[in-house]
Structure formats: structure tokens, C-alpha cells
Amino acid sequence: MNLRIIERPSPNFDARARGVDLVVLHYTGMQDAETAMARLCDATPIAGKYPGPWQAPDIDPATPLGRASAHYVIDEAGLIYRLVAEENRAWHAGVSAWEGEGDVNSRSIGIEIVNGGHDFGLPDFTDAQIETVIALLRDILPRHGLDASRVVGHSDVAPGRKRDPGEKFPWVKLAAASVAQVR
Ligand SMILES: [Zn+2]
């Protein structure tokens, strides 16, 4: 399958300190795809541009936020946007660890799946999204010599701090397609 990828470059990346051996799946947890991609492409994010339940309503709108990004975003229609090239280190995992090693960003490819998450009623993921997640993983995993055991959720690498992609994420469907294990 030829993947159609829409380029939506983000300035939020730096150099990897090591090779890729992990894929981290997320939900965006924001209002909609455009807001999420704007945030992930914003080099100077401030609180006033991204109002939501994650911050106090009386926060000074000029308060700087941390810069964030991911390699790919998959919207509800199943379209793939590339924000950061795989050879670069995107900023999606934050404080995190896997197999006793921190800096998960250096070793992983981050995929953000557009979904409001726990802050927005925990909507279902769409079938088109999940089909695209499977197709993208079928492309990524062999190129990096990885198997299904190397696909994890943000909540796996940042337990207690992050809940995404959440309990509605259909790991069973990914496992049936041999691109992940049930988590
Ligand atoms: Zn996440």
C-alpha cells in the first residue's frame, strides 16, 4: 500500500541521541485536528492560544507553554500528516522511560491520533483512523527492523502522568493486524 502523506512541517524537533527502537501512540486530547496541529507546530505556544480544561481559567494568556511535536498526526478521516522527519527527534513523550532508559523521544517515533480523549468525553476512534494507524505501522516497523512488541502507548512510557491513547484505543485490532500487542 502506498501511503499518502500530507507535509505539515513543525519547527519543534532536534537531533536524536540514538537509533529508533520504539513507536509511541498518543491521542491528541484537544478540541479538533486543526487546534492540535497548530499546537504541535507552534514554536512559541502561549496559554491564551490553547484554552482547555488542562489549565486554570484565570491563567495569564501570555504564559509560555512547552513546545511539542510528533512525527505523524492521523486525523478522524484517516489522513496522515508528517510534522517531523523520522530521522529527527520529535517532542511527544515528555518525562518518560522504557526498559529503564529515559529520553524516550530519542529512541521513538511518535504518532498522534486526533481524539478529544478524557478531557473531551473520550470519543471513539474512527475506523478510518485505525485502518491508517495499521497501514502506517506496517510501513514504519519493517523499515526500522521492529516487531509488534515495540509499539507502546504514551501511558506505558509515562505511567501515572499520561493516560493516552486511553482505554478506548483498540489494541485488539492492531494486534489482529500483527502491528502491536494488546496493552
Ligand atoms: Zn501523549
Whether the model clears a pTM of 0.95, i.e. scores above it, the answer is yes
Between the CA of 14 and the centroid of ligand 1 the distance, in Å, is 18
Distance from the alpha carbon of residue 111 to the mean position of ligand 1, in angstroms: 9
CATH H-level superfamily of 5-176: Peptidoglycan recognition protein-like (3.40.80.10)
Q: Give the pLDDT of residue 2.
A: 73
Q: How many angstroms is it from 28 CA to the middle of ligand 1? A: 7
Ligand 1 center to 70 CA (angstroms) = 9
Q: Is residue 59 pLDDT above 80, yes or no? A: yes
Contacts of 13 (CB under 8 A, 6+ apart): 69, 84, 85, 88, 89, 90, 91
CA of 166 to the centre of ligand 1 (A): 10
User: Dihedral sign, CA of 11, 87, 93, 111?
Assistant: positive
Ion ligand 1: residues, Cβ under 5 Å: 26, 154, 164
Is 120's pLDDT higher than 60? yes
pLDDT at 173 over 60: yes
pLDDT digits (tens, 9 = 90+) for 60-106: 999 999 999 999 999 999 999 999 999 999 999 999 999 999 999 99
